Amino acid sequence: EIDTATLQRLDAAHHLHPFNDNAALAKRGTRILTRGEGCYVWDAEGNQLLDAFAGLWCVNIGYGRRELGEAASRQMTQLAYYNSFFQCTTEPTVRLSAKLAELTPHDLNHAFFTNSGSEANDTILRLVRHFWAVQDQPEKNIFIGRHDGYHGSTVAGASLGGMKGMHKQGGLPIPGIVHIDPPYWFGDGGDMDEEAYGRHCAKRLEDKILELGPERVAAFIGEPVMGAIGVYIPPRNYWQEIERICRKYDVLLVADEVITGFGRTGEWFASQTFDFRPDVMTLAKGITSGYIPLGAVMFNDRVADVLSGRGGELAHGYTYSGHPVCAAVALENIRILQEEHIVETCRNNIGPYLGEKWKALAGHPLVGEARFLGMVGALELVPSKPSRTYFPDRGRVGQLCRDFALQNGLILRATNDAMLLSPPLVISRSQVDELAEKTWKALDMTAHALGM
Ligand code: PLP
């Protein structure tokens, strides 16, 4: 037995937390989580918290599903590990490849496995450049990403992303990666209607391709809905316009579906929600509902044919690429999503209900915009309505609201001053009611603290 205070002391002394001011955290004391069931987690002090963020956009089937533990245990006992390097592989790995080929749209038929979303995005940087090089176009090697995009924390992932704070640490982006502005209507849309704004934002890609020269541009990468920066939902026509431009200049289109994959936007994949055809798709998080680390890259036939046929040895891979235990857990997770019709229930029933409740929060004086799609959303907190202005010292008010939510037993994430929503897909109507009530209360407490 080890008491909570001791754990907190050891944590402060020995554990560097990602994306945290660790000195401030040490003073505050880390919350130790001990248990999870459905949409709730419990901490060591016995507080029950409704998790409106599904861990980190990942616990799609909810906490506490024994079947996943049993699948892991069965596979660990039978064959805990083997790699796919030595002209061999394992049954769960093959079955998962085939399952992903079946689930992902169009001809994304070929899976390459990684341990995380960051590694999946690293993988595309190398393999897409290789794709062009073996076709005698080595100079077609520039990637275009978006400012404020998030594609992970490895050197390539953080470079493909456009988070300024991350670029500042470690001298990023690496050469050969440039960024365009993303669609962010609240901050940037002005008087444009949705369609005009969608075209306007997509044209930024065409302008950048023409500036660089199409013969130098390998690929465009984007999150269909930008998550980490604040759930920026693009105009309906944006992705189709992006696809048209990519086709026109023969630039590969990479959809980072690490957050949006496995039901988050109301379809299995957001490229189905927005009706466009990526050449490459990166996946992680919801692939195992976060129960075990796993990422994947899905390549379409055209890219895979070049990589596997003319490319010679694929000089890329990880010790744990296609780890059989992770694959077994992913298969069990996907079985549950399919057999319990979780994605369909979100699309037809719980998603619209959650959307209605979430959008009603726009009635609060602190909320400038309530964004929502499928099972994901954000509230943009503002000092005054209806103006689209921000609080000075951006981020402070969001953190205040996040802390008030926690006091009320609700986990919401804050980015800048946007409150982010991404609950487990299995949330019930009464839990949606609880979520909306607690969010409103946190907004009230925030407004009160600000003297509004
Ligand atoms: N891509 C997107 C869109 C993400 O949101 C994330 C993580 O939040 C990643 C990639 C990186 O995934 P991981 O943290 O598994 O490396």
Q: For position 312, what pLDDT does the model report? A: 84
Give the residues surrounding ligand 1 with Cβ less than 6 Å away: 116-118, 121, 150-152, 223, 227-228, 256, 258-259, 284
Domain that includes residue 104, residue range: 67-339
Q: For position 443, what pLDDT does the model report? A: 98
Best residue among 123, 258, 294 to mutate for probing ligand 1, ranked by most atoms within 8 Å of CB: 258
Spell out the residues 6+ positions from residue 368 whose beta carbon is closer than 8 angstroms to its own: 186, 380, 381, 382, 385, 386, 387, 388, 389
Whether 354 is in a domain gets the answer yes
Whether 416 is in a domain gets the answer yes
User: Do residues 187 and 329 share a domain?
Assistant: yes
Cα separation, 417 vs 437, in Å, equals 19
Best residue among 114, 285, 289 to mutate for probing ligand 1, ranked by most atoms within 8 Å of CB: 285
Cα separation, 374 vs 259, in Å, equals 12
* Helix or strand (DSSP H, E) at 75: helix 66-79
CATH number of the domain residue 198 falls in: 3.40.640.10
User: Do residues 300 and 357 share a domain?
Assistant: no
Neighbours of 117 (CB within 10 A): 30
Nearest CA to ligand 1 atom 1: 151
Domain end (from 313, 339, 365):
339
Domain end (from 310, 339, 368):
339
Cα separation, 195 vs 138, in Å, equals 36
User: Do residues 241 and 292 share a domain?
Assistant: yes
Cα separation, 288 vs 51, in Å, equals 18
CA of 60 from ligand 1 middle (Å) equals 15
User: Do residues 355 and 301 share a domain?
Assistant: no
Neighbours of 312 (CB within 10 A): 10
Structure-token match 């995009």, residue found: 149
For residue 129, the SS3 value is helix
CA of 227 from ligand 1 middle (Å) equals 9
Q: For position 252, what pLDDT does the model report? A: 98
Whether 2 is in a domain gets the answer no
CA of 119 from ligand 1 middle (Å) equals 9
Best residue among 59, 115, 150 to mutate for probing ligand 1, ranked by most atoms within 8 Å of CB: 150
User: Do residues 83 and 225 share a domain?
Assistant: yes
Q: Say yes or no: ipTM exceeds 0.90.
A: yes
Whether 8 is in a domain gets the answer no
Whether 356 is in a domain gets the answer yes
User: Do residues 320 and 360 share a domain?
Assistant: no
Neighbours of 210 (CB within 10 A): 12
CA of 337 from ligand 1 middle (Å) equals 21
* 419: pLDDT strictly greater than 80: yes
Calculate Rg over the CA atoms of the chain: 22
Cα separation, 260 vs 346, in Å, equals 13
Nearest CA to ligand 1 atom 12: 117
Beta strands 252-256 and 217-222 are parallel
User: Do residues 281 and 351 share a domain?
Assistant: no
Whether 26 is in a domain gets the answer no
- Per-residue pLDDT tens over the stretch 260-284: 999 999 999 999 999 999 999 999 9
- Per-residue pLDDT tens over the stretch 330-373: 999 999 999 999 999 999 999 999 999 999 999 999 999 999 99
Cα separation, 389 vs 369, in Å, equals 11
CA 328 to chain centre: 22
User: Do residues 360 and 371 share a domain?
Assistant: yes
User: Do residues 333 and 228 share a domain?
Assistant: yes
CA of 118 from ligand 1 middle (Å) equals 6
Contact 294, 323 (CB under 8 A): yes
Whether 80 is in a domain gets the answer yes
User: Do residues 367 and 219 share a domain?
Assistant: no
Cα separation, 125 vs 282, in Å, equals 11
Give the lowest-confidence range in 23-27, 34-38, 74-78, 443-447: 23-27
Q: For position 33, what pLDDT does the model report? A: 98
Contact 274, 224 (CB under 8 A): yes
CA of 113 from ligand 1 middle (Å) equals 15
CA of 157 from ligand 1 middle (Å) equals 9
CA of 58 from ligand 1 middle (Å) equals 10
> Band of the pLDDT at 190, cuts 50, 70, 90?
confident
* 311: pLDDT strictly greater than 80: no
> Residue 358: is it exposed, middle or buried by C-beta count within 10 angstroms (0-12/13-18/19+)?
buried
Whether 17 is in a domain gets the answer no
User: Do residues 126 and 74 share a domain?
Assistant: yes
Neighbours of 452 (CB within 10 A): 11
Q: How many domains does the chain have?
A: 2
* 250: pLDDT strictly greater than 90: yes
Cα separation, 225 vs 297, in Å, equals 18
Q: Measuring CA to CA, how many Å separate 429 from each of 233, 260, 285, 370, 422? A: 24, 22, 24, 19, 15
* Amino acid of residue 406: L
* 186: pLDDT strictly greater than 90: yes
Spell out the residues 6+ positions from residue 387 whose beta carbon is closer than 8 angstroms to its own: 368
> Band of the pLDDT at 387, cuts 50, 70, 90?
confident
What sign does the CA torsion over 21, 382, 203, 272 have? positive
Residue 57 alpha carbon, nearest atom of ligand 1: 8
- Per-residue pLDDT tens over the stretch 112-129: 999 999 999 999 999 999
CA of 193 from ligand 1 middle (Å) equals 31
Domain end (from 276, 310, 339):
339
Cα separation, 401 vs 382, in Å, equals 12
Q: What is the DSSP letter of 346?
A: I
Cα separation, 212 vs 59, in Å, equals 40
DSSP secondary structure string for all residues of 387-445: S----SSTTHHHHHHHHHHHHTTEE-EEETTEEEE---TT--HHHHHHHHHHHHHHHHH
Nearest CA to ligand 1 atom 7: 152
Best residue among 56, 57, 118 to mutate for probing ligand 1, ranked by most atoms within 8 Å of CB: 118
* 309: pLDDT strictly greater than 90: no
User: Do residues 266 and 294 share a domain?
Assistant: yes
Nearest CA to ligand 1 atom 10: 151
CATH number of the domain residue 408 falls in: 3.90.1150.10
CA of 357 from ligand 1 middle (Å) equals 28
Average pLDDT, the chain: 97
Cα separation, 14 vs 6, in Å, equals 12
